[in-house]
Chains A and B, each alone.
Chain A
Amino acid sequence: MTESNQSMETPEEFQLRARAWLADNMPRRPEGQGHLRNFDRCRELQKLLHEGGFAGVCFPAEYGGLGLTLEHQQALDEETMSYDMPLALNIPTFGIIGATLVEFGTHEQKQRYLPPMIRGEEIWVQFLSEPSSGSDLASLTMRATRDGDSFLLNGSKIWSSGAQSADYGICVARSNWDVPKHDGITVFIVKIKQPGIVVEEIVDTFGGTEFCQEFFDDVRISMDDVVGEVDAGWTVVRGLLAHERNSMGNASPLTSGLELAPTDHVVSDIVDIARTTGMASDPKTRQLVGENYALRFVQSETTNRISSGMARGQFPPTAGALLRLMGARAAVRRSDVALAIAGSGAAAWHEGDPAGNAGSRFVGRQAAEIGGGTTEMQRNIISERMLQMPRELAADRGIPFNEVRHNAATTQKSKK
């Protein structure tokens, strides 16, 4: 590592140096292809970036990062557009979990976990949702029982993206059942590959295995791996969820690399579909193409506005919900537009047709409005926390958790 004497480097200098280094060292993104969610490849790419001194730009220098500014990261993002980047590490590893450890971790935890994360050696997953708790995350029932100097975890987590390829998880569990739900929660760092944890892949509507379900059986966790205070983990969760909204709205300083240039000339997939279906001169198609382009432009400008406004304190941290909502709504609209332009090509196509995935994209469309906190929850946050409208009635407020009514038995999906 040669960064220590480069901490004074301006974003422009950093960018030029990155440009030269990338050209010599980084593989190009295959033409016309998006980024693959291949974690082994991501580990290699991240290792490469780290060796070149371009990893963890905004992570603190004492924990393996470069300790530079958001401007440096943005400068790097401009340069990495055409390269193969380990984008699958952005969410949740860097943007959510890295950010949460930076905010709430102890010095020892940061020393232990951040450097290997930045080197691409350890990939993380979020163990938040459970079969019976999603939006109402604080109603979770994963049991954390104190046993001497450690805790034992029992229960199930679900919808954990990438758990099959991850090394560590941030796991939220209930450590106290005699107090209201938010007051009895503790956050743990969990090593995934160990005897007490079974990971099962879930097949999603695309036929892929985006997420998993896990079963915990007396998993022992040392007190050193408690993040934040015992029973006061909800503070950590709130911070984590804010980092999640920011990351999903492209507003995290800790993520690196972008999926598409903000004002990429070609909103390529949609335009390609229009061309291959012979609809490029059809007025209705052109309207949709124009709308889609405009939407992408407005989305990226909205991200700039809200993230720079949050950094300056002009928007509260909950404003990340606006970005999360914008991102989800835009993804849904893009999927609708792709379907409309693809026409019958979305139902039957020749291998390799750009229209081919429009149908399955549409079928899996709602994932964008569910994963990372549903759009309904974002609307609750915007109306209640940003606009100060009255909170929804919560029938469990102030009531000890063990006296609260839970889901009807029919919605329980626990194994065993």
Chain B
Amino acid sequence: MDVDLSEDQEFFRETTRKFLETEIPVENVRQLADNPAGFDRDWWRRGCEMGWTSMLVPEEHGGGSLEGEGLLDLVIVAEEMGRLITPGPLLATNVVALAVTERGTEDQKKELLPGIVSGDVLATWALNESGGRWHPESLELEARPVEGGFSLRGTKEPVEAAGHVDQILVTARTENGLTQFLVPSDADGMTITPMESLDLVRRYGSIQFDDVFVPASSVLGEVGQAEDDVERQLQVAIALQLAETVGTVDRIFEVTLEWMFDRHSFGRPLASYQALKHRFADMKLYHEANQAAATAVARAVQHHDEEASLKASSAKSYVGDHATFVLQECVQMHGGLGVTWEYDLHLYLRRATTNQVQYGTPDDHRERIAQLIGMDEESQ
């Protein structure tokens, strides 16, 4: 959690936590494992009444935030959702809301934003391609100019919540460079195949585009000029993802700390063994460092900081490694219980691991840092 929340933000965090704890405690998340979408649309609409999809949208289109810094409010929701491994396309829908808000035409905004805000329209971003490709330079899905628009060909996977949303923001390659399209999920020529997923309720699908026609009016931003937009979307996705990951660790750290005092061996609590105390001290440090990094990225992205990419990649690589490290330590401290299906810990590890490898692995982002700081330039 940010140590610098306003009173309104603090209040918002408490109401969000209460809402999630009553509406969708972890028992319910387990039950949703059998639901094809992994979440319930009516429940999502009620969440949207609390502002889950309005934070990045301007007031004239039905949106609004607490302090005019919507991303800093939204990461509060993401973090609270992490604490309860809540389902729902928070990240996916909000990235699209942001993209339409920042780059959409008036018509596109009018058509999509009110529905996203109310929760009637769900959306996702089709960025990734098979083989772990997420980096804009590696994308191949082709958009060929045809009469009245473009024809899309190729495959996007994994796409979060594909098959359970109404609108898909597709990042494609034209002869002139990256271009993004807003495509309704029932467009002709698109086949969506559900994938297996590590997280019990966060679903992914593979979308095959067989010459899908999209009209020129569906282009978001400018043809061939989407590189900066994609970068911005990535930053927002990473900021939300980091907040959620921090939330997962926050909850498990609490639970495990309590366990250390309750569980006894050799007549003393686990918390009294220095070997474990010292590991816990490291875990505490990593958790604080993760929160510091996540907060810094949210602020940098909110404020269009010129080093936002570098900060996002730094945090993404550090938190990716250290969040799952802390969770695995928590498993170890639980002994056998920690590796059972019954106990909730693995559900958290599933979420944090999913986040660790989506939108680039820690290794990918370390490589990106090397590029961004100019390793490839000639020595000055």
Chain B: CB-nearest residue to A321:
B281
A322 touches B3 (CB 8 A): no
> How many of chain A's residues touch chain B, expressed as a range?
35 or more
Q: Across the interface, which residues of A come within 8 angstroms of B291, CB to CB?
A: 305
B281 CB contacts on chain A under 8 angstroms: 325, 378-380, 382-383, 387
In the assembled complex, 11 residue pairs joining A and B whose CB atoms fall closer than 8 Å, in A order, are A289-B375, A295-B318, A297-B310, A297-B314, A299-B289, A301-B295, A304-B292, A322-B288, A376-B278, A379-B281, A387-B277
Residues in A with CB closer than 8 Å to B278 are: 376, 379-380, 383
Cβ contacts under 8 Å, B363 to chain A? 287
Q: Is the CB of A267 within 8 A of B373?
A: yes
List of B residues within 8 angstroms of A12 by Cβ: none
Cβ of B274 under 8 Å from chain A:
yes
Given contacts A267-B373, A290-B365, contact A314 B271 (CB under 8 A): no
Q: How far is the CA of A290 from the CA of B296 in the complex (A)?
A: 18
B370 at interface, CB cutoff 8 A = yes
Q: Are B271 and A389 in contact (CB under 8 A)?
A: yes
B4 CB–A CB distance under 8 Å: yes
Q: Mark B223-250, 1 if CB is under 8 A from A, else 0.
A: 0000000000000000000000000000
B122 to chain A, nearest CB (A): 34
Question: What's the Cα separation between A1 and B183 when bound, in Å?
Answer: 69
CB < 8 Å neighbour of B307 from A263, A283, A298, A384? A263
Which of A281, A286, A325, A376: most chain B CB closer than 10 A? Answer: A286
Let me know if B282 is at the binding interface, CB within 8 A: yes
Residues of A within 8 A of B307 (CB): 263
Contact with A along B299-328 (1 / 0, CB 8 A): 000000001001101110110000000000
Q: Is A302 an interface residue (CB 8 A)?
A: yes
A283-321 to B contact mask, C-beta < 8 Å, 1/0 = 100110111011101110110111011001011000000
Is B207 on the interface with A (CB-CB < 8 A)? no
Q: Which of B260, B280, B313 is the one whose CB lies under 8 Å from A294?
A: B313
- Interface positions, chain A 124-153, Cβ under 8 Å from B, are none
Q: Which 5 pairs of residues, A with B, have the shortest CB-CB distance?
A: A290-B366, A383-B277, A379-B281, A290-B369, A382-B281
Interface residue B272 (Cβ < 8 Å from any Cβ of A): yes
Number of chain B residues whose Cβ lies closer than 8 Å to a Cβ of chain A: 44
B269 at interface, CB cutoff 8 A: yes
Nearest CB to that of A297 among chain B residues?
A: B314
Contact A291 B366, beta carbon cutoff 8 Å: yes
Counting CB contacts under 8 A, is A275 at the interface? yes
Residues on A facing B (Cβ under 8 Å): 263, 265-267, 271, 274-276, 280-281, 283, 286-287, 289-291, 293-295, 297-299, 301-302, 304-306, 308-309, 312, 314-315, 322, 325-326, 329, 376, 378-380, 382-384, 386-387, 389-390, 392
Contacts A287-B366, A322-B285, A384-B277 aside, 17 further interface pairs with beta carbons under 8 A come to: A274-B375, A283-B367, A289-B369, A294-B314, A298-B315, A301-B293, A301-B295, A302-B285, A302-B289, A305-B295, A306-B292, A325-B281, A379-B277, A379-B281, A379-B282, A382-B285, A386-B284
Assembly CA distance A299 to B293 (angstroms): 9
Contacts of A390 in B (CB 8 A): 268-269, 271-272
On whether A301 and B277 interact (CB within 8 A), knowing A271-B373, A291-B366, the answer reads no
Q: Which residues of B contact A305 (CB under 8 A)?
A: 3, 288, 291-292, 295
Q: Which residue of B lies closest to A381 (CB)?
A: B281
Name the one of B284, B367, B373, B374 contacting A382, with C-beta atoms under 8 angstroms: B284
Are B367 and A306 in contact, with the CB atoms below 8 A? no
State A267–B372 Cα separation when bound (angstroms).
Answer: 12
Is the CB of B334 closer than 8 A to any CB of chain A?
A: no
Query: Which A residues are CB-close (under 8 A) to B369?
Result: 289-290, 293-294
CB pair B285–A326 under 8 Å, yes or no, is: yes
Q: Which residues of B contact A380 (CB under 8 A)?
A: 274, 277-278, 281
Closest to B291 in A: A305
Asked whether any CB of chain A lies closer than 8 Å to the CB of B376, the reply is yes
Assuming the contacts A305-B3, A379-B277, asked whether A275 and B285 have C-beta atoms less than 8 A apart, the reply is no
For the complex, give the distance between the alpha carbons of A265 and B284 in Å: 28
**B368: CB under 8 A from chain A?**
yes
B379 an interface residue at 8 Å Cβ cutoff?
A: yes
Q: Is the CB of B280 within 8 A of A387?
A: yes
Q: B257 contacts which chain A residues (CB < 8 A)? A: 387
For B256-278 the 0/1 string (1 means CB < 8 A from A) is: 01001100000011011010011
Q: Residues of A contacting B365 with CB < 8 Å?
A: 290, 294
* A299→B257 CA distance, assembly (Å): 24
Given contacts A326-B285, A384-B277, A389-B260, contact A294 B318 (CB under 8 A): yes
Give the docked Cα–Cα distance between A325 and B288 (Å): 12
B280 to chain A: which residues have CB within 8 Å? 382-383, 387, 389
Contact B373 A312 (CB under 8 A): no
Q: Which residues of B contact A291 (CB under 8 A)?
A: 317, 366
Q: Which residue of A lies closest to B261 (CB)?
A: A389
User: For the complex, what is the distance from the CA of A305 to the CA of B376, rounded to whole Å?
Assistant: 33
List residues of chain B with CB within 8 A of the CB of A275: 379
Q: Which residues of A contact B317 (CB under 8 A)?
A: 290-291, 294
Inter-chain contacts of B374 with A (CB < 8 A): 265-266
Chain A residue contacts of B289, Cβ below 8 A? 298-299, 301-302, 326
Asked whether B277 lies within 8 Å of A306 as measured between CB atoms, the reply is no
- Asked if residues A314 and B293 are in contact (CB atoms below 8 Å), the reply is no
Most buried by B among A263, A382, A383, A387: A383
Q: Which residues of B contact A384 (CB under 8 A)?
A: 277
Closest to A384 in B: B277
Residue in A closest to B280 when the chains form the complex, CB atoms: A383
Q: Are B4 and A281 in contact (CB under 8 A)?
A: no
User: Is A322 touching B367 in the complex (CB atoms < 8 A)?
Assistant: no
Select from chain A the residue with minimum beta-carbon distance to B278. Answer: A379
Find out whether the CB atom of A309 lies under 8 angstroms from the CB atom of B366. no
Q: Give the complex CA separation of A408 and B289 in angstroms.
A: 40
Q: How far is the CB of B267 from chain A (nearest CB, A)?
A: 13
User: Closest residue of chain B to A294, judged by CB?
Assistant: B314
The winner among B261, B280, B314 for most chain A CB atoms within 10 A is B314
A389 to B296, CA, bound (A): 30
- Pick from A274, A297, A302, A304 the residue with the most CB of B within 10 Å: A297
CA distance A298 to B310 in the complex (A): 12
What residues of A have a CB within 8 angstroms of the CB of B314 in the complex? 293-294, 297-298
CB distance from B21 to the nearest CB of A (A): 23
For the complex formed, measure the closest distance between the CB of A246 and the CB atoms of chain B, giving whole angstroms.
15
Give Cα A329–Cα B325 distance, bound, in whole angstroms.
16
Interface 1/0s, chain B 3-14, versus A by CB < 8 A?
A: 110000000000
- Cα A167 to Cα B261 with chains together (Å): 49
Known contacts A287-B363, A290-B369, A325-B285; is-contact A298 B292 (Cβ 8 Å): yes
Point out the residues of chain A lying under 8 angstroms from B370, CB to CB: 286-287, 289-290
Q: Which of A280, A312, A315 contacts B376 (CB 8 A)?
A: A280
Give Cα A96 to B126, complex, Å: 54
B241 CB → nearest A CB, Å: 16
Q: How far is the CB of B93 from chain A (nearest CB, A)?
A: 28
Cα–Cα distance between A101 and B106 once the two chains are bound (Å) = 64
- Report whether A290 and B288 are in contact in the complex, using a CB–CB cutoff of 8 Å: no
Question: Which chain B residue shows the least CB distance to A310?
Answer: B3
